Amino acid sequence: MLFSKLLIPTLKEAPQEAEIVSHKLMLRAGMIRKVASGVYTWLPLGLKVLRKVEGEVRTAMNNAGAQEVLMPMVQPKELWNETNRWEKMGKELLRFRDRHDRDFCLGPTHEEVITDLIRNNVRSYKELPINAYQIQTKFRDEIRPRYGVMRSREFIMKDAYSFSVNEKCLDESYINMRNAYKQILQNIGLDFKIVKADSGAIGGDASEEFHVLAENGEDTIAISTNSEFAINTELLLEEGEDIKSLEGKDSPDGKGIMQIKKGIEVGHIFKLGQVYSNDMNASVQSQEGRSSTLYMGCYGIGVSRIVAAAIEQNNDEKGIVWPVSIAPFDVNIIAIGFDKNEKVANAATDLYEKLSNQGYDVILDDRKAGFGAKIKDSELIGIPMNIIIGKLYVEKNEIEMRTRDGQISLVQIDDLEVIFNHFK
Ligand code: ATP
Ligand code: MG
């Protein structure tokens, strides 16, 4: 892609509205722009990253045997009445009426719609387990939207729902999704913890959250120094425990000492059991020929929140430092004098094609600007590798390869093998 053809309105200063670093950098890098409180447009650069996160999530879901569906954002009141959530959800549920005076809401989550689908279309235990997921827009009328897409009103979530014939099968589906979530965050390259959590408005018996560790996280979590033990302090508060007294204490599992950290909740998995299937009469015929109420699990991961969380965990004074897996581009070819010097323009275009043919995601900075402005933008946007084609190339056929963390090496432009090796 040519830099000059993309809408990447970078900013020198962060607008006043931004409080935390990820929000500031997403605005400065021209990734998002606000339309209304908690409602954003994703610009080309932001959308590229969002799609890469979606790709990681989709691959992991498909590998785990889940099947993709797409449910509507608009949902009828009747379904929400069946679980009493039309009332229970309170003001977070955005309700509206159509021209025939029928009540609808914008889906904040999809338990009712998926349970309705399964009860109407699955008859026998033989068809189970089923795990269906979607990657879709949610709307929650958050009381305090803030931090950009981190806590917005409209956002993208991947939500998956499993249906099983008994508790043991639910446990298996839950572990399967738990492993898939671990895989997603590991593949993206984030530092995270799995934390025991409160089930909240979704309900059910057991739940765990996936937290990306970052100073600006909204949640306070207690984690052990030497084991996997971690718990959301929200849960401790509910049980009347005192968080302060926990610091420096032995972990409840006897391994390590408890530490307090800040986390960003990017994923939440629940064993719902029979809560929704009871309310909505969702059953199948069991092996013994009886009607058997379904066991359900639900599994949400915040696709748009992961973009912000990744920045919150990976940035420096110059800008974003993307994990390579979700960087908008793998490499930026910075051509100095692209518009004036034919030799530079040809070499840059040629290298662009060679790298693209190798499968790299390449941007070519062909703008009429100097090296200073171009490298600043590239560092702000967080592209992992820069290839600079300028004076050195004109004089000695040399190009400069410069990583986002500032490591520089000079390479002969014809030495393709050396160039490709830098990406390994
Ligand atoms: P929170 O406690 O942050 O409000 P939640 O417990 O309400 O989150 P879930 O209902 O479990 O969230 O939704 C699953 C995932 O969707 C969350 O882990 C998070 O990544 C994402 N998410 C939830 N609310 C928002 C929001 N307002 N903006 C962006 N992402 C969100
Ligand atoms: Mg919430």
DSSP assignment of 113-125 equals HHHHHHHHH--BG
Query: Measured between alpha carbons, how far is 252 from 388 in angstroms, rounded to an integer?
Result: 54
Report pLDDT for 100.
Answer: 98
Tell me, rounded to whole angstroms, the distance of Cα 367 from its chain centroid. Answer: 31
Q: In the chain, what percentage of residues exceed pLDDT 70?
A: 98
Nearest CA to ligand 1 atom 24: 151
Question: Is 3-316 CATH 3.40.50.10860?
Answer: no
Q: Say if CB 389 and CB 351 are below 8 A apart.
A: yes
Kindly give the distance from the C-alpha atom of residue 134 to the centroid of ligand 2, in angstroms, as a whole number. Answer: 19
Tell me, rounded to whole angstroms, the distance of Cα 380 from its chain centroid. Answer: 20
At CA 353, angle to CA 347 and CA 358, rounded to 5?
Answer: 130
Query: Measured between alpha carbons, how far is 13 from 33 in angstroms, rounded to an integer?
Result: 14
Average pLDDT, the chain: 95
58 three-state secondary structure: helix
5 three-state secondary structure: helix
Q: What are the pLDDT tens digits along the chain (424 aa)?
A: 999 999 999 999 999 989 999 999 999 999 999 999 999 999 999 999 999 999 999 999 999 999 999 999 999 999 999 999 999 999 999 999 999 999 999 999 999 999 999 999 999 999 999 999 999 999 999 999 999 999 999 999 999 999 999 999 999 999 999 999 999 999 999 999 999 987 665 555 689 999 999 999 999 999 999 999 999 998 888 777 877 777 988 888 889 999 999 999 999 999 999 999 999 999 999 999 999 999 999 999 999 999 999 999 999 999 999 999 999 999 999 999 999 999 999 999 999 999 999 999 999 999 999 999 999 999 999 999 999 999 999 999 999 999 999 999 999 999 989 999 988 7
Residues of the chain with CATH 3.40.50.800: 329-421
Closest atom of ligand 1 to 267 CA is 18
**Strands in 254-407 per DSSP E:** 258-273, 283-285, 291-293, 295-302, 315-316, 319-320, 331-335, 362-365, 385-389, 398-403
Q: How many other CB atoms are found less than 10 A from the CB of residue 248?
A: 10
Query: Measured between alpha carbons, how far is 387 from 335 in angstroms, rounded to an integer?
Result: 8
Report pLDDT for 238.
Answer: 77
In the beta sheet, which residues pair with residue 304? none
Q: What is the CA radius of gyration of the chain?
A: 25
Report pLDDT for 236.
Answer: 80
Kindly give the distance from the C-alpha atom of residue 164 to the centroid of ligand 2, in angstroms, as a whole number. Answer: 26
Nearest CA to ligand 1 atom 22: 302
Using alpha carbons, list the distances in angstroms from residue 41 to 26, 47, 90, 152, 347: 12, 9, 27, 12, 35
**Strands in 145-257 per DSSP E:** 154-164, 192-196, 206-213, 219-224, 230-232
Kindly give the distance from the C-alpha atom of residue 403 to the centroid of ligand 2, in angstroms, as a whole number. Answer: 38
Pocket residue to mutate for ligand 1, from 135, 149, 157, 161, most atoms within 8 A of Cβ = 157
Nearest CA to ligand 1 atom 1: 265
Class of domain 329-421: alpha beta
Q: Please give the helix or strand (H or E) that residue 394 lies within, else none.
A: helix 391-396
- Which residues does a 6 A CB cutoff place in the pocket of ligand 1? 109, 140, 142, 151-152, 155, 157, 200, 202, 265-268, 300, 302, 304-305
Distance between start and end Cα atoms, the chain = 22
Tell me, rounded to whole angstroms, the distance of Cα 261 from its chain centroid. Answer: 21
Q: Looking at the CA of 109, name the nearest ligand.
A: 1
Q: Say if CB 234 and CB 198 are below 8 A apart.
A: yes
**What's the chain's length in residues?**
424
Among residues 98, 76, 74, which one has the least CA distance to residue 85? 76
Pocket residue to mutate for ligand 1, from 193, 268, 299, most atoms within 8 A of Cβ = 268
Residues of the chain with CATH 3.30.930.10: 3-316
DSSP 9-43: ---SS--TT--SHHHHHHHHTTSEEEEETTEEEEP
Query: Measured between alpha carbons, how far is 14 from 239 in angstroms, rounded to an integer?
Result: 41
Report pLDDT for 345.
Answer: 97
Nearest CA to ligand 1 atom 19: 302
Query: Measured between alpha carbons, how far is 233 from 203 in angstroms, rounded to an integer?
Result: 18
Pocket residue to mutate for ligand 1, from 142, 265, 272, most atoms within 8 A of Cβ = 265
Report pLDDT for 242.
Answer: 73
Half-sphere exposure of 274 (CA within 13 A, CB side): 11
Closest atom of ligand 1 to 302 CA is 20
